């Protein structure tokens, strides 16, 4: 796509929004009060707002390679802090996607330079769930299951943060694990049993 096309698309979009509501941008400029924090993959096929059918102002979004929440990553930690403790979102979503190249790369032996430490976190997910993953013979199924387990582990990483623990205690903030299936367009709720996981892990990770 030509760069100029993007700017003409923008002008068209402004006109559409204003024709439906002439105060649209004035209202947007007042502030944001999103109920959701969405953490997803940077993959160009997984467009957060479009796949959820939401509008500007509805969702606070953070995207990185393979929807990771590493505890030492200043970017994702800042996003969680701001969304949970300041914007006071009600739901935190980690959304992975099948056919994620980041997850695929972590299943292979290759030196990817700066990506090594980032993707190492996914290798750790594999190690934690090695017994289950090794029992899956079909490579594609194994790859898809690692995508799901990675979402689950990143949800647990969120629960490890004091921001999420405080918000859970005070406001009952919920953490959700989803997967977007690129092949069908379907959004799948993994229905992760957080009460069970919390019971198991809070003994170790409780901060507050
Ligand atoms: Co991806």
- 197 — pLDDT class (breaks 50, 70, 90): confident
Residue 181 Cα to ligand 1 middle (Å): 11
Radius of gyration of the chain (CA): 19
Q: CB–CB of 95/151 below 8 Å? A: yes
Residue 145 Cα to ligand 1 middle (Å): 14
Give me the count of residues in the chain.
208
In the predicted structure, residue 1 carries a pLDDT above the cut 80: no
pLDDT surpasses 80 at 150? yes
Residue/partner pairs of 76-80 with CB below 8 Å, 24 or more apart? 76/39, 77/161, 79/37, 79/39, 80/37, 80/158, 80/161, 80/163, 80/164
To the query of whether residue 91 is one of the catalytic residues in this protein, the response is no
Query: Could you say which of 11, 62, 95, 100 is catalytic?
Result: 100
Provide CB contacts within 8 A for 13, sequence distance 6+: none
Residue in this structure with the two tokens 């649209």, named with its chain if needed:
24
Q: Is 22 a catalytic residue?
A: no
Ligand 1 centroid to 99 CA: how many Å?
7
Work out the pLDDT band at 208, boundaries 50, 70, 90: confident
> Could you say which of 21, 45, 171, 193 is catalytic?
45
pLDDT given at position 48: 95
- State in Å: Cα 201 to ligand 1 middle: 27
Tell how far the Cα of 64 is from the centroid of ligand 1, in angstroms: 8
Q: What percent of the chain clears pLDDT 90, i.e. is strictly above it?
A: 91
Q: What is the pLDDT of residues 66-112, one digit of tens each?
A: 999 999 999 999 999 999 999 999 999 999 999 999 999 999 999 99
Domains of the chain from N-terminus onward: 1-30 (no CATH), 32-205 (3.40.1050.10)
* Active-site position among 97, 155, 163, 176: 97
Q: Has 45 been annotated as catalytic?
A: yes
Q: Is 137 in contact with 127 (CB distance < 8 Å)?
A: no
């Amino acid at each position: 796509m030509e760069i100029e096309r993007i700017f003409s698309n923008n002008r068209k979009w402004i006109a559409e929004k204003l024709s439906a509501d002439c105060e649209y941008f004035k209202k947007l400029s007042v502030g944001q009060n999103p109920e959701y924090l969405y953490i997803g993959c940077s993959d160009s096929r997984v467009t957060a707002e479009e796949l959820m059918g939401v509008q500007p102002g509805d969702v606070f979004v953070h995207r990185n390679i393979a929807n990771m929440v590493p505890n030492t990553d200043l970017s994702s930690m800042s996003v969680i802090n701001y969304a949970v403790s300041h914007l006071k979102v009600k739901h935190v979503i980690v959304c992975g996607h099948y056919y994620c190249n980041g997850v695929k790369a972590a299943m292979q032996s290759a030196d990817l330079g700066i990506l090594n430490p980032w993707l190492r976190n996914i290798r750790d997910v594999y190690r934690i769930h090695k017994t289950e993953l090794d029992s899956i013979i079909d490579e594609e199924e194994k790859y898809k299951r690692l995508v799901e387990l990675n979402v689950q582990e990143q949800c647990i990483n969120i629960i490890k943060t004091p921001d999420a623990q405080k918000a859970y205690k005070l406001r009952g903030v919920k953490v959700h694990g989803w997967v977007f299936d690129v092949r069908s367009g379907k959004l799948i709720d993994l229905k992760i049993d957080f009460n069970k996981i919390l019971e198991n892990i809070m003994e170790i990770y409780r901060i507050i």
